[in-house]
Amino acid sequence: LAQAQPAEVVLGANLREASPPGWSEYLNDYLRPIGCDEILYASPYRSADEFVVISVSRSRRSGGFESPDLDLLGRLTPHLSRAFTIQHRFEALELERRASVQALEQASVGVMITDSQARLRFANAVADRMLQDRELAVVHGRLRAPGGADDRALVQAISRVAGLGVPETVSLGGAGGRS
C-alpha cells in the first residue's frame, strides 16, 4: 500500500500477493478475528510525516469487492484527499497566526489592527495601555482619536491603508502630538 499511488484503490488480495511487511499480522490479528477477509484500501493523503489509509472490509461470505465498489471508493478518494490537504493548510496557517500574534504581543510599541471601518481587531499590551490612558478610544467597537480633527485623520488613514495596503503613520494632537 505504501507503494500505491495517492488515491489509487487497492484490493486486499493484491496486497497479499505483494506481502508487505506487517500485512499478515494485520490480517491475522485484527481483521480475521472480526470476520473480515475481503479488504479494499486507498490512501487519499500522504505528506512527509502522515499517511492516511481508508480501509473497507467485509466477510468473505458477503462476496468479494466488485468494480462498482472500487469505482465508488475511487470517486470518494480525491475528495477526501482534498479535505486532508485543506486541513493540513489550515493547520499551517494556524501555526503562523499563533506565531504572528505572539510576536505582536511582545512588541515594545503599540500595535493595533483594525478593519477598513476602524473596528479594532487586535491590540497588544502597549496599545491596551494607550487605550486605558485615553490616548485613543474604542467607541461602539471602532477605534477613535480624541478631538474631531485627530479622529478624522485617523479614520481617513485607516481607510487609505485598507484600500491601498500601504502602512501609514498618523500624528495626532498637533505639532507636539503623538504618532
| pLDDT of residue 3 exceeding 80 | no
| pLDDT of residue 92 exceeding 70 | yes
Q: What is the mean pLDDT of residues 79-98?
A: 94
The pLDDT confidence band at residue 173, using thresholds 50, 70 and 90, is low
- Predicted TM-score of the model (pTM): 0.62
How far, rounded to the nearest angstrom, does the alpha carbon of residue 174 sit from its chain's CA centroid?
Answer: 44
Write down the pLDDT at residue 117.
87
The mean predicted confidence, pLDDT, of the chain is: 82
DSSP 17-81: HH--TTHHHHIIIIIGGGT--EEEEEEEEE-SS-EEEEEEEE-GGG----HHHHHHHHHHHHHHH
Strands 112-114 and 51-58 turn out to be unpaired
| pLDDT of residue 169 exceeding 80 | no
How far, rounded to the nearest angstrom, does the alpha carbon of residue 32 sit from its chain's CA centroid?
Answer: 38
pLDDT one-digit tens code per residue, 135-152: 889 999 899 988 788 888
| pLDDT of residue 54 exceeding 90 | no
| pLDDT of residue 178 exceeding 50 | no
| Partner residues linked to 52 by β-bridges | 45
In whole angstroms, give the CA distance from residue 13 to residue 39.
8
Write down the pLDDT at residue 89.
94
| pLDDT of residue 105 exceeding 80 | yes
Spatial CB neighbours of 140, under 8 Å, sequence gap ≥ 6:
none
* C-alpha to C-alpha distances, 95 to 46, 60, 107, 113, nearest whole angstrom: 20, 46, 19, 19
Helices (H), 61-174: 67-105, 125-132, 148-164
